[in-house]
């Protein structure tokens, strides 16, 4: 680890102080990893991690699928490579965070079954399977009968599927609480508040200053903006944050009745007349059923149409879903960058870093983001494998 040079006459610990703005999964993993590396970390977040239903963070809504294989998209091979790298880190990441926090994060290792509803959906699924094979990802093409042998509650009309045994899931709300606890135990501080401005220079000779809505200014040598799709409300020394567009997702949480067996054993993703839908089971009987994809700005209203679409498509795949008890409905905003890839590491403002734009994959990408951001904070550069995702890369339609 390399320290930065001390500016003269400072009252803060200038070479090691880091303020992380935002307590979603990306801010929290960065804060924990940085604190564990001996940096002096303060995380600023307005919403308590213990009240996920009221929070703005996309991380509190996420289903928690760790599914780089079944999320593969043509043209996003590099991003998928980062996802595969992060997925491979998950086992040891979970062991470490659970030990550090003393609690489980609900890592569910039963794989993912991707199924098709009609012939057109099956054609898309076959193309995806060919892409997975080209990229060297181990998945297995299954007939309709083989799918139903694995998941007996699937509708007989399901046309076929692909089994991705290495695509798992985690409970993001538990993960957030565990990361908060682990960070605290590693010495990180948390301040409840909303950041309005990052200034350069900061107070008391510090390189940067982080102003909160109540007027407090925190001095910092380095600042990480991990604000999901809300960073445009913060005044910065230069326009280094490209537009991060919110992509709304509505989903619902349901559970089987007491004493009933789980509806699905593994994550079931499906294409129904071209619409993606998923059911993600948790060990305690909860099932997450999602999700819409809507580009409506910062609107998080739940709509009858959105929830109907999700339930309609989920029922086509797993008719027994109508028997579940609904426990929560919610909507979150996926933070999408102009090229749909994350923006990580230093900007042209000395000391100011970004960790934003994780779009549909923030939970999956948490371990690798933690690793990348610690490297950026301690050496000033990104690891070789992450250079493509540099925060200061040229982007069409955005500042950088």
Ligand X SMILES: Cc1cc2nc3c(=O)[nH]c(=O)nc-3n(C[C@H](O)[C@H](O)[C@H](O)COP(=O)(O)OP(=O)(O)OC[C@H]3O[C@@H](n4cnc5c(N)ncnc54)[C@H](O)[C@@H]3O)c2cc1C
Cβ at position 157, least distance to ligand X in Å: 26
**Tokens 């919610």 sit on residue:** 330
* Residue (of 244, 209, 242, 239) closest to 348 by Cα position: 239
Cβ at position 235, least distance to ligand X in Å: 10
C-alpha 142/C-alpha 120 separation (Å) is 16
| CB distance 188 to 75 below 8 Å | no
C-alpha 343/C-alpha 389 separation (Å) is 5
When the beta carbons of 38 and 239 are compared against ligand X, the nearer one is 239
Cβ at position 50, least distance to ligand X in Å: 13
Cβ at position 49, least distance to ligand X in Å: 9
When the beta carbons of 116 and 175 are compared against ligand X, the nearer one is 175
Neighbours of 96 (CB within 10 A): 16
Cβ at position 250, least distance to ligand X in Å: 7
C-alpha 375/C-alpha 213 separation (Å) is 30
When the beta carbons of 22 and 219 are compared against ligand X, the nearer one is 22
| CB distance 329 to 307 below 8 Å | yes
Cβ at position 96, least distance to ligand X in Å: 19
β-pairing verdict for 222-225 and 352-356: parallel
C-alpha 147/C-alpha 122 separation (Å) is 13
Cβ at position 267, least distance to ligand X in Å: 9
Rg (CA), the chain: 21
| CB distance 111 to 165 below 8 Å | yes
The residues, any chain, with a CB within 8 Å of residue 152's CB and separated by 6 or more, are none
When the beta carbons of 165 and 300 are compared against ligand X, the nearer one is 300
When the beta carbons of 1 and 192 are compared against ligand X, the nearer one is 192
| CB distance 110 to 280 below 8 Å | no
C-alpha 279/C-alpha 112 separation (Å) is 10
Contacting residues toward ligand X, per CB under 6 A: 21-27, 44-47, 55-59, 61-65, 194-195, 226-228, 230, 233-234, 249, 251, 290-291, 332, 334-335, 356, 358-364
* Residue (of 161, 172, 179, 177) closest to 282 by Cα position: 172
When the beta carbons of 65 and 115 are compared against ligand X, the nearer one is 65
First to last CA, the chain: 27
Cβ at position 247, least distance to ligand X in Å: 7
When the beta carbons of 59 and 139 are compared against ligand X, the nearer one is 59
Cβ at position 238, least distance to ligand X in Å: 18
When the beta carbons of 122 and 176 are compared against ligand X, the nearer one is 176
- DSSP string of 62-113, one letter each residue: ---EE-TTTT--TT-HHHHHHHHHHHHHHHHHHHHHHHHHTS----B-S-EE
Give the dihedral of Cα atoms 269, 315, 119, 62; nearest 10 deg: -20
When the beta carbons of 55 and 122 are compared against ligand X, the nearer one is 55
């Amino acid at each position: 680890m390399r320290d930065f040079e001390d500016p003269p006459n400072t009252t803060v610990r200038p070479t090691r102080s880091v303020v992380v703005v935002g307590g979603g999964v990306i801010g929290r993993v960065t804060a924990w990893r940085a604190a564990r590396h001996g940096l002096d970390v303060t995380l600023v977040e307005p919403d308590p991690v213990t009240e996920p239903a009221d929070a703005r963070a996309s991380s509190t809504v996420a289903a928690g699928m760790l599914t780089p294989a079944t999320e593969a998209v043509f043209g996003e091979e590099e991003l998928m490579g980062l996802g595969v790298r992060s997925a491979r880190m998950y086992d040891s990441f979970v062991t470490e965070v659970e030990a550090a926090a003393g609690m489980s994060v609900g890592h569910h290792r039963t794989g993912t079954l991707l199924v098709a509803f009609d012939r057109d959906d099956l054609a898309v699924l076959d193309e995806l399977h060919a892409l997975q094979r080209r990229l060297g990802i181990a998945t297995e093409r299954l007939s309709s009968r083989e799918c139903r042998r694995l998941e007996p509650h699937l509708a007989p009309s399901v046309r076929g599927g692909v089994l991705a045994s290495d695509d798992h899931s985690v409970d993001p709300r538990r993960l957030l609480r565990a990361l908060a606890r682990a960070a605290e135990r590693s010495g990180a501080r948390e301040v409840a508040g909303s950041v309005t401005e990052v200034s350069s220079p900061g107070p008391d000779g510090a390189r940067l200053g982080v102003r909160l809505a109540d007027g407090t200014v925190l001095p910092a040598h380095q600042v990480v903006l991990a604000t999901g799709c809300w960073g445009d409300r913060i005044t910065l020394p230069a326009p280094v944050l490209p537009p991060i567009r919110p992509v709304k997702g509505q989903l619902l949480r349901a559970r089987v009745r007491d004493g009933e067996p789980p509806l699905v054993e593994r994550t079931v993703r499906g294409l129904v007349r071209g619409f993606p839908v998923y059911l993600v089971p948790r060990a305690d009987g909860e099932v997450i059923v999602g999700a819409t994809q809507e580009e409506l700005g910062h609107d998080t209203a739940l709509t009858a149409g959105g929830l109907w679409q999700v339930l309609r498509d989920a029922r086509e795949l797993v008719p027994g879903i109508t028997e579940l008890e609904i426990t929560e409905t919610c909507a979150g905003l996926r933070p999408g960058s102009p090229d749909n890839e994350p923006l990580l590491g230093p900007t042209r403002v000395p000391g100011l870093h970004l960790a934003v734009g994780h779009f549909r994959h923030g939970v999956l990408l948490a371990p690798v983001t933690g690793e990348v951001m610690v490297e950026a904070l301690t050496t000033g550069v990104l690891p070789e494998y992450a250079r493509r995702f540099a925060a200061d890369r040229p982007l069409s339609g955005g500042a950088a």
